[in-house]
């Protein structure tokens, strides 16, 4: 186990550049994505249309953004169950700011402030998770369970469980704007992925992260501040979840503390795992997480577009997760 992790680390840092062939070998999921697209071209009517692409990009972006953060957390041998609840909290906080009296008085400042507050909430939630895990040596699954329960509750208390409907074109741009014809949040997802995969491969933090996930004790002995790496990782995951929460509110022109981000932790974990993450830590395939998110989205879309029962999509998702993990395991042996 330690051997494979060591080779993974040197492999990814030595080659640096990531080409498609390596992606296919490393993930296998990339080929699955191509296969899915080819199948869709044959069986799904109107698949090769710009509209289809937009629908899928719009829907996949939130999963992808959260999955990127989750990939980092999983790389540190952790897990973050709170991302969906943090989305609900951030998604509710942003409109709360620009709908307030102050927000009505100075809309420009309020817009900046609302986005800052939402991201800050995500950051604090993430740091809280990291702090719990560091300070009390609580397992990540239990530590993040606290905010999984409490953060959505806070969002509901804040909004009294009601929809906050708003009409704020500038804020809605986050969820329905387009740059060069491409949905804004899809561009953001790609930007986050590129930045963070650069960070993982090229910065000290990235190397420390993989070292901590591979073997925390060895990392500590070699002088890495394991606690700071963990804190940063959960903080990044929290900020990304906060951003995703704003995207969902912006798409709907309303925040819904009850529904926003519901079950998102599972989709994000699934996307990360399908993308090649190993729950034991030590690997951070961020581009893989994007592909994993795309696969999950595309399977859902394929089934829906072909009139298959919504519930069957859940079963299909289950099968995909099992197959992805099974084949990864077999290859690593």
Partner 1 sequence: MFGMFNRSRDLRTEGVWIAVVLVVIFATLRYDNFMGLYNVQTFFGYNSMFILIALGMALVIMTGGIDLSVGSVVALSSVVAAYASPYGIEVALPAALLTGIAAGAINAFLITKMRIVPFIATLAMMLGARGMALVLADNKSVSVDWTSNFTKFGLTRAFGLIPWAVILAAVVFLALWIMLERTTLGRRILTIGGNPEAAKLMGVPVNQTLAITYIISGACAGLAGVILASGFGAGQPLEGLGWELSAIASVVVGGTLLTGGVGSIPATLAGAVLLGLIFNILNFENGLGVISLSAYWQSVIRGGFLLIVVILQSRSGGGLARRRGTT
Give me the phi and psi of 182, to 5 degrees please: -105, 135
Structural contact between residues 293 and 60, judged by C-beta atoms closer than 8 angstroms: yes
Considering only 93-101, 149-157, 195-203, 233-241, which stretch makes contact with partner 1 by CB under 8 A? 149-157
Q: Which of residues 96-135 bind partner 1 (CB under 8 A)?
A: 132
Among 25, 204, 319, 331, indicate the residue that binds partner 1 (CB under 8 A). Answer: 319
Residues whose CB is less than 8 angstroms from the CB of residue 324 and which lie 6 or more positions away in sequence, other chains included:
28, 29, 32, 273, 274, 292
Task: For residue 231, state whether it binds partner 1 (rule: CB under 8 A).
Answer: no
Please name the helix (run of DSSP H) or strand (run of DSSP E) that holds residue 254, with its range, or none.
strand 254-255
Residues whose CB is less than 8 angstroms from the CB of residue 23 and which lie 6 or more positions away in sequence, other chains included:
30, 287, 288, 291
Considering only 18-26, 64-72, 114-122, 143-151, which stretch makes contact with partner 1 by CB under 8 A? 143-151
Query: How, if at all, do strands 254-255 and 164-165 pair?
Result: antiparallel
Give me the phi and psi of 117, to 5 degrees please: -65, -45
Among 167, 260, 205, residue whose Cα is nearest residue 76 = 205
Could you give the string, one character per residue 199-218, with x where binding to partner 1 holds by CB under 8 A and - elsewhere?
Answer: ------------------x-
Between 204 and 322, whose beta carbon lies closer to partner 1? Answer: 322
What's the min distance (Å) between Cβ of 66 and partner 1? 15
- Whole-number Å distance between alpha carbons of 4 and 54: 39
Among 121, 125, 239, 273, indicate the residue that binds partner 1 (CB under 8 A). Answer: 273
Among 74, 67, 58, 72, residue whose Cα is nearest residue 268 = 67
Considering only 21-29, 35-43, 54-62, 141-149, which stretch makes contact with partner 1 by CB under 8 A? 141-149
- Whole-number Å distance between alpha carbons of 287 and 55: 21
Q: Which of residues 38-77 bind partner 1 (CB under 8 A)?
A: none
Between 165 and 279, whose beta carbon lies closer to partner 1? Answer: 279
Among 201, 212, 267, 266, residue whose Cα is nearest residue 234 = 212
Among 57, 65, 143, 246, indicate the residue that binds partner 1 (CB under 8 A). Answer: 143
- Angstrom distances, CA of residue 238 to CA of 8, 100, 147, 289: 26, 25, 11, 17
Could you give the string, one character per residue 5-44, with x where binding to partner 1 holds by CB under 8 A and - elsewhere?
Answer: ----------------------------------------
Task: For residue 139, state whether it binds partner 1 (rule: CB under 8 A).
Answer: yes
Structural contact between residues 95 and 269, judged by C-beta atoms closer than 8 angstroms: no
Considering only 28-36, 51-59, 206-214, 323-331, which stretch makes contact with partner 1 by CB under 8 A? 323-331
Q: Which of residues 299-318 bind partner 1 (CB under 8 A)?
A: 309-318
Structural contact between residues 293 and 28, judged by C-beta atoms closer than 8 angstroms: no
Could you give the string, one character per residue 154-183, with x where binding to partner 1 holds by CB under 8 A and - elsewhere?
Answer: x-xx--xx----------------------
Q: Which residues bind partner 1 (CB under 8 A)?
A: 79, 81, 132, 136-139, 141-143, 145-154, 156-157, 160-161, 217, 266, 269-270, 273, 279-280, 309-319, 321-322, 325-326, 329
């Amino acid at each position: 186990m330690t051997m494979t992790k060591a080779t993974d680390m040197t492999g990814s840092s030595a080659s640096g550049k990531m080409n498609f062939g390596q992606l296919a070998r490393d993930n296998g999921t990339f080929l699955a994505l191509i296969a899915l697209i080819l199948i869709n071209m044959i069986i799904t009517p109107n698949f090769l249309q710009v509209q289809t692409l937009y629908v899928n990009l719009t829907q996949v972006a939130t999963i992808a953004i959260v999955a990127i953060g989750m990939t980092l957390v999983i790389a540190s041998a952790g897990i973050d169950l709170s991302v969906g609840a943090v989305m609900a909290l951030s998604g509710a906080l942003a409109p709360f700011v620009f709908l307030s009296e102050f927000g009505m008085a100075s809309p420009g400042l309020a817009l900046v402030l609302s986005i800052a507050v939402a991201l800050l909430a995500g950051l604090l939630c993430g740091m809280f998770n990291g702090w719990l895990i560091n300070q009390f040596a609580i397992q990540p699954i239990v530590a993040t369970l606290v905010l999984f329960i409490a953060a959505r509750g806070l969002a509901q208390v804040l909004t009294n469980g009601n929809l906050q409907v708003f009409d704020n074109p500038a804020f809605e741009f986050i969820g329905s704007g387009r740059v060069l014809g491409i949905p804004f949040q899809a561009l953001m997802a790609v930007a986050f992925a590129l930045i963070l995969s650069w960070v993982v491969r090229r910065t000290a933090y990235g190397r420390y992260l993989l070292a901590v996930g591979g073997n925390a004790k060895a990392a500590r002995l070699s002088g890495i501040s394991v606690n700071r790496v963990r804190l940063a990782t959960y903080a990044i995951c929290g900020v990304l979840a906060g951003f995703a929460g704003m995207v969902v509110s912006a798409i709907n022109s309303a925040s819904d503390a009850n529904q926003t981000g519901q079950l998102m932790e599972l989709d994000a974990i699934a996307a990360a795992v399908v993308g090649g993450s190993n729950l034991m830590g030590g690997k951070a395939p961020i581009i893989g997480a994007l592909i994993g998110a795309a696969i999950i989205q595309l399977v859902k879309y394929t089934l829906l577009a072909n009139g298959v029962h919504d519930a069957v999509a859940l079963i299909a998702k289950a099968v995909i997760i099992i197959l992805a993990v099974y084949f990864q395991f077999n290859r690593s042996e």
